A and B are shown apart, each in its own frame.
Chain A
Amino acid sequence: MRTLTDVSRSSQRARETQRSRNKGDGPLARDPRPGTSAAASHRHESAIKHVTGRAAYIDDLPAPADALHIALGFSPVAHGRLTRLDLEAVKRAPGVVDVITAVDIPGHTDIGPVFPGDPLFADDEISYAGQTLFAVAAISHKAARLAVKAAVVEIDEQPASLDPLKAAERGDVVRPTHVQQSGDWQRALSEAEHVLEGEQFVGGQEHFYLEGQACLVTPSEDEGVVVYTSNQHPSETQKLVAEVLDVPFHAVTVETRRMGGGFGGKETQASPWACIAALIARRTGRAARLRLPRAEDTRTTGKRHPFHNRYRLGFDAAGVLSGGEITVIGDCGYSPDLSEAIVDRAMFHADNAYSLGAARVTGHRARTHTASNTAFRGFGGPQGMMIVEAAMDDIARHLGEDPLTIRKRNFYRAGRDVTHYGQRVDQYPLLSEIVERLEVSSDYWARRQAIRTHNAASPVVRKGLALTPVKFGISFTAKHLNQAGALLHVYTDGSVMINHGGTEMGQGLHTKICQVVARELGLDMTRVRITATRTDKVPNTSPTAASSGADLNGMAARDAASRVRERLFDFAAEHYQLDREGLRLEGGELLAGHGESSRRIAWGELVQAAYLARISLSANGFYATPLIHYDRDSGSGRPFYYFAYGAAVAEVAVDTLSGEYRVERVDILHDVGDSLNPAIDIGQVEGGFIQAMGWLTSEELKWDDRGRLLSDGPATYKIPTYGDLPPVFNVELLEGHPNSQASIYRSKAVGEPPFMLGISVWSALRDALSSLSDYHQSPRLDTPATPERVLMAAETLRRSVNGSTA
């Protein structure tokens, strides 16, 4: 018979084991039971609600009958001084209840998320067209919007700075320039057999989440508010709302059940609307709704950063890089927002999958008079990768080799496995493995030959083929964000409620978290329910961003579930007189012992017995990613816990008379470690690929010469449609390669990495164009590579070829 001491010692041991697992230095088994809850393709936890229209988004939430509707007044000009803001007629407009400007803010007037620079309302200097000037609350959405039109706004307009290159040249930046350097890059260049240089413009991207920015704020009975918001970062919104209202954080509760898409656009840029609605709610004592109509949303919120990139790289006769320099200039818009970290991430990914050799990578953060550009899936990484992928194609044309050959020769490899910021690249052999498998499954070399034959005989329609790899670093580069919490309750009927700090934006995070809990407690998924993310359940959370949702929150949920489980084991060992070491939870039962001596106790029975014995059935969990660090002063460290890998082969057909093109076939092999949910992961891979294809092809942001965004809605800003889906689209997850790091069940993050597989489409377009020069020239092709850009590149190439042969 065990004594109490024994039990406590064994549970102490269990806790220590768990702690060491969480720290990442202990063994963490892969899920030994493929097909069980943690690895199965469970449907999205809201799927049935989605298809029946029962899933509620912010504007679907019921509000009191006297709820107010908010509309905003925006600056029509990009740069200048506000000389007059006369809102008398607005206040007198039908249905108007309240009108506010910067002077009506009791607390902080600047809501910059990391660095200051984002006034909630502009009150003097106007920094972009679409900047918020005032807010109107009225009894209906329409009344509020109509009232806005009655405002008299006078602005002393000044020339807008819209060229990030010129801004960077004159040092007009939102944050200081950062440099990463490894080895003697100048010597590498001077001693190189070949040196090539090139530059490119990489366009930005509107998030185009289908649900626009929206919130509903109700005043609480004390000095605060409850905020319902479509939001990737509830804790930050809580902080900012509290600071704007000048109340303690505990007076503000923020809730997010789900978003109708986020993609980074609701990481920092969901907060202003919550702050404004909170001000109205407190001032009027009434609930306040704010949702941005599509065109206003598109004009006032930031986008993926456009970049200007340059490279000068040295290489040998085989095309192997020896070193050089890469410069990336991010167009940050008018304020820092997250641009420090975004341009850093562009720099961290300027190597993509290739060992640069002795290299210097420089990143500038240019200020322009446009909306403050922000997080968007990949967070600068995609823009950084574009320059080295351009270089790979250029080197191949220069040497007369196939671009894939050059890429493979430059992959991280033995002896060349350290990045320009000093991180050793773990699992680099996966690059070669993925690419070799894809070469076979996509029949790359036979198709290459067929395309060459086709193009030689086809004057107008040219085909292109490209295989591009992805290596993407996982972790927030701001170290403190790499933490997460969870809260788990078991009720006396055996049902389980899990809550965590991550938010659901469609990526299936909540589904994966439920799977983790179900696995840890040996339960069916129907027993586990997840609730809205709320700052009063799990506090001080990080944004759901950097692909980290499942990595961080999955571990926290696992921690919470295992705490309850270990507590139940302790209890059961004593209560039922069982061997503590042999206890396990499986199939909705507690199992003890084996064979003849085995015992089974139903989960519900166990829970009730524990309750009666006054055992806590609730636990919180916590996780902090181990091992990561980065020193900005030296530009080196291990910013990433691990890397995720993948590669894609894209084939395109280009009409070189019109510039029109079609993506005809895509093959993808992508690494997610041991998948938590293959169906969800494939959904992320496919969706990310198509979204990147849109970024690089049809999605064109255009401003007029005064800095006003012209492409402000789906009539002018064209995201991919159903018909853009490649007719052949083969997507597979790499199997048999668990994460080498102790991530949740050895899975890998999947939100962002596959986005960059879309670069294969752009490279294939360049390949098709290059055929016009018989593959001797590597055409410059800025993005988005619209039919216009493709045609103009074709015309330039044709002129160049005709000129040189004439």
Chain B
Amino acid sequence: MIEFYLNGRRRQCVDIGADTSVLELLRGPLGQTGIKEGCASGDCGACTVAIGEPDADGELAYHSANACIVPAHQLDGSHLATVEGLARGDALHPVQAAMVDCHASQCGFCTPGIVMSLFTLHEAQRRTPAPLTPERLEAALGGNLCRCTGYRPIRDAALRMHDYPDTQPSWADDPTLAGDVAALARDATRRPPVPDGREGHYATPDDLDTLRELRRQRPQSRLVAGATDLWLEVTQQLKPLTDLIDVRRVAELQRIEETTEGWWIGAAVTYSRLEPLFAEHFPAFAHLMQRFASMQIRNRATLGGNVANASPIGDTPPVLLALDARLAIDGPAGPRELPVGDFFLDYKQIALDDGEFLRAIFLPRRSELQHLKVWKIAKRREDDISAVLAAFAWRLEKGVLRDVHLAFGGMAAIPRRCEPAEAALEGQAPTVAAFGAAKAALRDDFQPLSDVRGSSEYRLTVAANLLERLRLGLESTTAEVSIDAYAH
């Protein structure tokens, strides 16, 4: 059984299968058809909902999510706001009123999702007002596809939503809602960490010991955190996922620990939580985040998931490789650590034994002299899977390159560094000749695939050209070597 609040009303749902999505729950048993299924893969945003969870001050903080790939069990102890819940009788919520007045809906199918993305932006503004910069609007709306309008009227609606009376949903009148949701979330007695199996196994351990024990007992079970990739197995391949361990409640996996050497990032920490850390200490990584995935995905997906998923086109592993990140592995045999470079063995093969799991990722603090560039190459600027991702780290000492790390995604069966090219640059001045050698070494080292995202020749050419971009940037700090919207 799961219990949560839907548009202010407490709901109990029984017999919810482990692999049921929030979208299925809403459109099926709950009969709420306002949100739509556009793709069932988290790419279009038509099913966007707002999930409210109590923050440190006991207020409900809402984030947008794609209901098609959020496990229904993850709703437990939260407040789910949907498009049906915003208007107060005939009085529209400001984002709805602005959408109507700006002619921002045509066919209307994507509109409920866009309304909910704008609602979470509006909520964020209510909590912490800040200018609605183009970057913020892009972040808020980049995960909602609209095929009709061309987005201009949606932009206008976002910019005008504050011109309307701040009509709040009727559930906002309930002064106890946040407290009730918090109490529900704390009430672990309703939620045995190990389920009885009637609804499939959807286990929600609260601590590391229970997680270790569950992994030992059920080594065949799948771990789920953000579910943003795992759930595609359900929606796209119709694979049953009946034995799941949800790691999101494990406190140790939700921590960000700062040490003098760097940061231990719990494997279940979402990207949205990491953004301030990246912005302060790894701006190139933070910039990648804007293009890495939509807001709905970043609100749910985790750095640990992107690593353990081991996709050859995952965007963060090359960055972790360039930064010499380390991984904390845990499991029945106890904890161990290994460099991230030793984690990826072969296509989708990782160095985890049965029952083991990724506990945390260590990001070493950058020295003042270490430079980092992260460049993503894809067909579309926002929310696209990379053809090539390059992460370059280096120091420049007395005019020569030191500690050169050139890591790539999309160039091989695993994300990996290009050691021959690194060797060609190590200890060299950033000359045309040195980079020429590095480019040649790169071409020898990789034999990338041709696939839907790009041809082998394109990948090789663009990867080599990114080294040229690096050289040009080192040659002149003022030259325009890329387009700002794509790369910094």
Chain A interface residues toward B at CB < 8 A: 41, 43-44, 46-57, 59-60, 142, 145-146, 149, 207-212, 258-263, 293-295, 458-461, 505-508, 653, 655, 657-662, 679-680, 682-683, 686-691, 698, 700, 702, 710-711, 713-716, 718-725, 727, 729, 731, 786-788, 791-792, 795
Contacts and interface: CB of A to CB of B under 8 A. Distances in A.
Interface string B138-154: 10011011111111111
Contacts of B384: 718
B106 A507 contact: yes
Given A210-B147, A460-B480, A658-B486, A260 B462 contact: no
A689 B150 CA distance: 8
Contacts of B87: 52
Query: What 5 pairs between A and B have smallest CB-CB spacing?
Result: A53-B34, A506-B107, A260-B109, A50-B108, A690-B150
A506 B108 contact: yes
A786 B482 CA distance: 17
B111 interface: yes
A47 B142 contact: no
B379 A787 contact: yes
A54 B105 CA distance: 13
A721 B383 contact: yes
Given A714-B43, A716-B453, A722-B142, A211 B483 contact: no
Given A53-B84, A657-B466, A43 B108 contact: no
Contacts of B35: 53
A51 B142 contact: no
B482 A210 contact: no
Interface in B29-50: 32-41, 43-44, 46
Contacts of B134: 727
Contact of B92 (A48, A506, A698): A48
A593 to B, nearest CB: 40
B451 interface: yes
Q: Is the interface of A mostly helix, strand, loop or mixed?
A: loop
Contacts of B86: 52
Interface in B215-267: 236, 238
B168 interface: no
Interface string B441-460: 00000000001111101100
Given A52-B34, A657-B482, A722-B154, 19 more contacts: A51-B96, A53-B35, A54-B84, A142-B238, A460-B481, A461-B483, A506-B105, A506-B108, A506-B109, A507-B106, A659-B377, A660-B483, A662-B485, A687-B148, A710-B451, A710-B452, A718-B379, A723-B382, A792-B458
Nearest to A46: B108
Given A660-B483, A698-B379, A51 B111 contact: yes
Nearest to A731: B152
A720 B144 CA distance: 10
Nearest to A709: B452
B254 to A, nearest CB: 28
A719 B147 contact: yes
Given A52-B87, A658-B482, A660-B486, A721 B36 contact: no
9 contacts: A52-B96, A53-B115, A54-B84, A208-B147, A458-B480, A657-B465, A722-B138, A722-B382, A792-B461
B459 to A, nearest CB: 9
Given A51-B96, A786-B379, A788-B454, A658 B462 contact: yes
B337 interface: no
| Listed residue (A49, A210, A263) with the most chain B CB atoms within 10 angstroms of its CB | A210
B40 A293 contact: yes
Contacts of A688: 150
Contacts of B32: 53
B387 interface: yes
Given A460-B480, A687-B150, A791-B461, A722 B144 contact: yes
A118 B32 CA distance: 37
Interface in B50-81: none
Contacts of A683: 103, 106, 148-150, 153
Contacts of A691: 147, 150
A27 B310 CA distance: 71
Contacts of B487: 655, 658, 660
A210 B112 CA distance: 12
A710 B452 CA distance: 6
B9 to A, nearest CB: 16
Contacts of A461: 480-483
Interface in B150-173: 150-155
A460 B377 contact: no
B112 to A, nearest CB: 5
Contact of A146 (B39, B83, B111, B238): B238
A687 B109 contact: no
- B40, B103, B387, B479 — most chain A CB neighbours (10 Å): B103
Contacts of A714: 38-39, 41, 43-44, 145
Contact of B109 (A210, A662, A711): A210
A163 B296 CA distance: 40
Nearest to B35: A53
Interface string B351-377: 000000000000000000000000101
A729 B152 contact: yes
B41 A294 contact: yes
Given A722-B151, A786-B379, A211 B107 contact: yes
A716 to B, nearest CB: 5
Contact of B110 (A48, A56, A210): A210
Contacts of B137: 722
A370 to B, nearest CB: 16
Nearest to A44: B105
A146 B112 CA distance: 29
A391 B145 CA distance: 34
B385 interface: yes
Q: How big is chain B's contact interface, by range?
A: 35 or more
Nearest to A716: B452
Contacts of A702: 452
Nearest to B294: A721
Given A48-B92, A714-B145, A788-B455, A508 B106 contact: yes
Given A460-B469, A659-B462, A723-B142, A210 B84 contact: no
Contacts of A721: 142, 145, 151, 380-383
A686 B469 contact: no
B380 A698 contact: yes
B342 interface: no
Contact of A713 (B41, B100, B379): B41
Given A43-B100, A53-B84, A657-B481, A260 B381 contact: no
A788 B458 contact: yes
A77 to B, nearest CB: 19
A54 to B, nearest CB: 7
Interface string B180-202: 00000000000000000000000
A491 B462 CA distance: 68
A264 to B, nearest CB: 12
B99 interface: yes
B213 interface: no
A659 to B, nearest CB: 7
Contacts of A149: 238
Interface centre among B36, B106, B144, B469 (most CB of A within 10 A): B106
B236 A295 contact: yes
A344 B403 CA distance: 62
Contacts of A49: 108
B82 interface: yes
A689 to B, nearest CB: 6
A724 B482 contact: no
Contacts of A680: 103
B472 interface: yes
B115 A662 contact: no
Nearest to A42: B103
A758 to B, nearest CB: 10
Residue of A44, A653, A688, A722 ringed by the most chain B CB atoms within 10 A: A722
B482 A261 contact: no
Nearest to A211: B109
